[in-house]
Amino acid sequence: MRRRTAGITTILTIGACLLPTLGAAAKPADTIKYRHAVMEGMSAHVNAFMLIATNKIDGRQFLQNHGDAIADLSGELDSLFPADSAPSSGGSEEPETHALPAIWDESEKFAAAVTKMQEAAATLQETTRSGDNKAIMGAFAAAGKACKGCHEDFRAEEEDDHDHEH
């Protein structure tokens, strides 16, 4: 019993130490890094989904995992672009971002694009559960179109964008 109490006390102590950081506002540089990580994660799942759905690799049992991840990550899109993470004059400390100022300048248009992507991702997730390959490919194409539409208006091109899959 003493060992159990000590374990609970340790967990509570660690939790109490971490609690002040949970509500802390993120620094803009950290927000940009997090946004990049989420977008890269979504890109990785889109690419994996495509490889499985087009039968380039055998992994049908994992298709739903990738569809779920795409939908889950797209659910974060509307929180990834707070005003203080807009590109600035380019200080040397600022992480690289491909986010265009149009995200903040045309916030209603951007919000509509985010909603379109979230809806397309939710449809992809739901359709993937059906197992109907034709419907899955249609939903995947619609999600890709939503992704591309947002990138065309709100994302600066990378030097190697021709290799970028989504």
The DSSP result for 93-132, as a single string, is TSPP--B-THHHHTHHHHHHHHHHHHHHHHHHHHHHHHT-
Query: Mean pLDDT across the stretch 20-40?
Result: 81
> Do residues 105 and 40 lie in contact, with contact meaning Cβ atoms separated by under 8 Å?
no
The Cα–Cα gap between 71 and 82 comes to 21
Average pLDDT of the chain is 84
pLDDT at residue 17 in the model: 45
The Cα–Cα gap between 14 and 116 comes to 41
> Do residues 41 and 70 lie in contact, with contact meaning Cβ atoms separated by under 8 Å?
no
The Cα–Cα gap between 44 and 38 comes to 10
97's enclosing H/E stretch is none
> Do residues 143 and 151 lie in contact, with contact meaning Cβ atoms separated by under 8 Å?
no
Query: Mean pLDDT across the stretch 134-149?
Result: 96
Q: Which of 122, 137, 138, 140 is nearest to 74 (CA)?
A: 122
The Cα–Cα gap between 150 and 2 comes to 57
pLDDT at residue 50 in the model: 97
Homologous superfamily assigned to 28-163: Cytochrome c/b562 (1.20.120.10)
| 6 C-beta neighbours (distance < 10 Å), count | 10
pLDDT band at residue 11 under the 50/70/90 scheme: very low
The Cα–Cα gap between 30 and 57 comes to 35
pLDDT at residue 88 in the model: 73
**What pTM was estimated for this model as a whole?**
0.78
